[in-house]
Amino acid sequence: MTVDVIDIEVVEATPTISGMAVVAGALAAIAASLILFSLGSGLEFAAASPWGDVARTAGRLGVAAGIWLIVVQWIASACGGYLTGRLRTRWRRTHTHEVFFRDTAHGFLAWALATVVIATVAAASGLATTGGAVATASAGAAQNFAYDADTLYRTPTADEAALAPVRAEAERLLAAAAARGALDPADHDFLVASISSRAGVSPAEAQRRLDVVTQREAQATADARVAADKARKAASAFAIFTALSMVIGAFIASAAAALGGQLRDEHP
């Protein structure tokens, strides 16, 4: 009786994803980003940093800073992607097209991990948004109404306790006028009469005081609107440059990982 012996080749199973290589590449990308952001600040590019105040950074964003943001993504992603490709496990008996796909996927994963870590740290640090900055500016402007009400009823002989509710009412009227864009005629006449009687000044002086205050408030409102519009445009530019740099970073990381993986396979 003859027994046929069949040779069975044992192939060692190799993971499709080299997790440690991805983590190492992501850490390298994060470290490179920090170095380059610090360099950009030293060179006065004021590049948008993921660790700082977005609203304030967006206001400083210029063309040079936007280009530097792209350069940071380019270099950091290339560094992280290349290390990921060189450090990943060698895939034996795998078609070259599949190897190329896996390498690019590794580079993309390293870039994605680095991006998520930076975004998480930035969110945890409590970054201010442009809307939050505008709200803060509006709150600051609202506090000026109290000062304006004080100037309307300024007099050395008045009873401060008696003037407190009068000033509070004037403050509300001024705030309503700022919201509408103009002081209502009835409110205007009421304030002139109130200032004249409560502050002990002539109607002409009361009118002059009210005109000064309303002109100042109108100018402050106009300046706030201009500043808000500039902040909106700066935030829009910041978002565009950020999105563009991230797309470039993802592509560079994938290409660098493919290059690193190819060089890795040349040396068994």
3-state helix, strand, coil in the chain (%, to 5): 75, 0, 25
- The sign of the CA dihedral 180, 184, 187, 193 is positive
pLDDT per residue over 238-257, tens digit each?
A: 778 888 889 999 999 999 99
Count of alpha carbons within 13 angstroms of residue 231, beta-carbon side: 19
pTM of the full predicted structure? 0.61
The enclosing H or E element of 32 equals: helix 19-42
pLDDT per residue over 185-243, tens digit each?
A: 888 888 888 888 888 888 899 899 888 888 888 888 888 888 788 778 877 877 788 88
The total of other beta-carbon atoms located within 10 Å of residue 29's CB is: 30
Position 93: which residue type? R
What's the token pair of residue 7? Answer: 């040779």
